[in-house]
Structure 1
C-alpha cells in the first residue's frame, strides 16, 4: 500500500511469511537484510523474501513515502490467513511456522537480489500504483488483474537484474537509455521508426532487435505505452476534457485517441475515468492498515 513513515520510525528485525516489494518514493532508509546494509534513496526498490531477517529504519528528519505490496507466488489453502509478520521465527507459534512460503526467487532457476537501484524509476511506478489501486478498489475479478500486475512487476525486476549484470556492454546500455529518454520526451506526439532510425543513425531492423532484446517490446510499442500512461494520469488527476487530453498527447483527433486507448486498455477513456471515480470509496483505504507498517514500530 502507499504508506508514509515518520522520522525516527524503526521496524525492528523480523521475518515475513511471504514476499514484500518496497519502493522508496521519497525520503531515505537504512535497510538491513541478513548481513547486508543498504542506504535507500528515492527510486530504490527492496525485495524482502520469506524467512529473511531484515529491519527498516528512517534516516534523517524527512517523512518517507514507501509504497509497498505483499504477495505470494502460489495460492494455497491458507493464503487468506497469512498476514504481515513483525516477529522473528523463534517468536512464532507452530501454526505460524507453517505459513512460511518457499523462497523461489533465490534460485536455482530464478534469482532476484534484495536491492535494486533502478535505471528508470518512473517506469516502475505505473505498474506498482496500478497494483495498489486494484487491491483497494476490488472491482469484479480484481484477483485475476492483481496476479497479472504482480507478474508484470516481477518481469520488470528480472530485466533490471539482468541489466545490473551487463557491465560489459556500457556503450550499448547508454545508447538504449538515450533512445528510451528520447521517446519519453516525445510522448506527446506521434513518433515513427524512421525518425528514430535517423536520429540515432541506426538501421531500423537493428534498432528493433536491439530494443526488443533489452525491453521485450519494440520501440513503437514502448512509445505507445508511454503515451497511454500519460493519458491515464491525465484522466485520473486532471479535469481536462477528452479533446484537451487528445490534443495534449498529439493525436490527430479525439476518435484516434479513443481508439488507441481502447486498444491498449480495453475500454474507452471516458469509461475509464468514470469507472475510476465510481469505485474510489474512501472506506476501502482501511484495508491498507492490515498490511502496512505501524508508524511507531
Structure 2
C-alpha cells in the first residue's frame, strides 16, 4: 500500500471477505492517518461475520493467512447495515466513499440464489439507498465475477458502478455488450483482472495461470500470438493488458493485482508506458481482438 501511495494511487478497495476481515484491518491501519479527502475508499456488503463455536476448526485452506471468523450471507436491510458497521470498525475509519454488493453471482449461492437476490432487490438495496441519501456513501456498486452475471443481476437494482472480474480483458471480450449497455445507462465499470489472473503478466509457460487455474493450451497459444505482436511494437505484454480495458467508455479504472511492493512499482511503470494505436489495429487484423471493441487512445 505504501508503494501504491508513493506511486500516486489514491483509490483503495477492500472487502470483509478478503482474508476474512484481515484486508480491512490492513487497509484501515494504513489509511487511518492519511488526510481523508486525499483518497477514495470502497468496501463491500453481503457477508456478516461472527465468532465460530470453535475458531480452531474453521477451514482456512483457501487462505494464506486470514482471520478465523465465520460468516453468513445476508443481503437484507439489517445484513447490509451490520456489514457496513462491522467494516467501519475493522478499518477504524468512520466513512467509506461507496459500498458494493459483493458476489451475487449464481455459482456462489445455489440453491439459495433466488431468495438472496430477492432480499437484495427488495430489502438490502433500501439500506444502500438510505446511506446514499443521507450522505454516508456517495455511490452504490456491485462486484461480479462471471460474464454471464452481467446479463441480468445488475438490472435488479439501481447502480452507480460495478467492479467486474474476467469479463473484459485482452484475452476475452465477451463482456463487451454488457459494458456497452452500462455506458448507455451511465453506470461506470472498474476492471478488476486486467491480467486475467496472471498469464498477461507472465506470458505463456508452464506456470501461467488463467481464470485462477493453470492456463490451457488454447489460452497459452493465444497469449503467445498477442505477445508476439506486442513485441513487434516494443510494448510489454502487461502494458497492453493494463491499457486495453481503458479504451471502453464505461471503464473508469483498473485494479492491478500486486502481492509485493516491487510488483506494485512494476505495475505502475508498465501502466505508464505508451501503447501505439497500431498495436490495437494489428491485434484486430490478426483476429486476436474483436473488431468492434473500442481501442484506447
| Same fold flag (TM > 0.5) | no
TMscore range, shorter length: under 0.3
Which of the two has higher C-alpha Rg? 1
- TM-score (ref. length: structure 1): 0.26
Bigger relative contact order (CA 8 A; separation at least 6):
1
